[in-house]
Chains A and B, each alone.
Chain A
Amino acid sequence: SQQGEEDPQALSIQEGENATMNCSYKTSINNLQWYRQNSGRGLVHLILIRSNEREKHSGRLRVTLDTSKKSSSLLITASRAADTASYFCATDHSGNTPLVFGKGTRLSVIA
């Protein structure tokens, strides 16, 4: 399976702390994307990192990619209660095939 695997499955932190989620995948990628899903809602695209990039920032989000280890991490700095959601990585393996989603990390930020 090309499906990514996130860890941890669930993460609970205090407001203001940083949250780190990891994603591993099995086959080479064109790009890797992170999505957020609030409970019972659709997914929202957060950030994309291409296979030739190592790090990318967007506001409080920082994504890293290590293609040699086939892994990526998503860091949310200074977390807020509103960041409580599930976070999924999704891989684009060839540039013309649909995204394959991982199982997600459920993040709870406690005020």
Chain B
Amino acid sequence: DAMVIQNPRYQVTQFGKPVTLSCSQTLNHNVMYWYQQKSSQAPKLLFHYYDKDFNNEADTPDNFQSRRPNTSFCFLDIRSPGLGDAAMYLCATSRGTGAPGYTFGSGTRLTVV
């Protein structure tokens, strides 16, 4: 089945230690998104790629970076995780930003200790 896969499901990292979350898709969608979701809150868009074009949200901290080496993969790098970065990180894809229905991965739960 075509899908969006996030690895790992759970990630524990130390305060200040760089961490990378990964997302892959078999849907061949043009757009890939990273959302951050804290407990009982709305998913908040960090950035998205339309093909190779990177689009950063204005309020996304510089601590967060992303890479999309090819259509299938997208990575979220957190350079120096703080306690406030503990959250669920959700990857999603769509054919276009205005295309109906995003497909989400199962998420990576990040814990910072």
Contacts and interface: CB of A to CB of B under 8 A. Distances in A.
Interface of A: 3, 30-31, 33, 35, 40-45, 48, 88, 92, 94-104, 106
Given A40-B109, A43-B104, A45-B102, 13 more contacts: A3-B42, A31-B100, A40-B107, A42-B6, A42-B105, A42-B107, A43-B102, A45-B103, A96-B98, A98-B48, A99-B45, A101-B42, A104-B40
Given A42-B105, A43-B102, A45-B102, A88 B97 contact: no
Given A40-B107, A98-B33, A33 B42 contact: no
Interface size class of B (residues with CB under 8 A): 20 to 34
A3 B18 CA distance: 30
A48 to B, nearest CB: 5
21 contacts: A33-B101, A42-B90, A42-B92, A42-B107, A43-B43, A43-B90, A43-B102, A43-B104, A45-B100, A45-B101, A45-B102, A48-B101, A88-B42, A88-B43, A92-B98, A97-B98, A98-B33, A98-B48, A101-B43, A101-B44, A103-B41
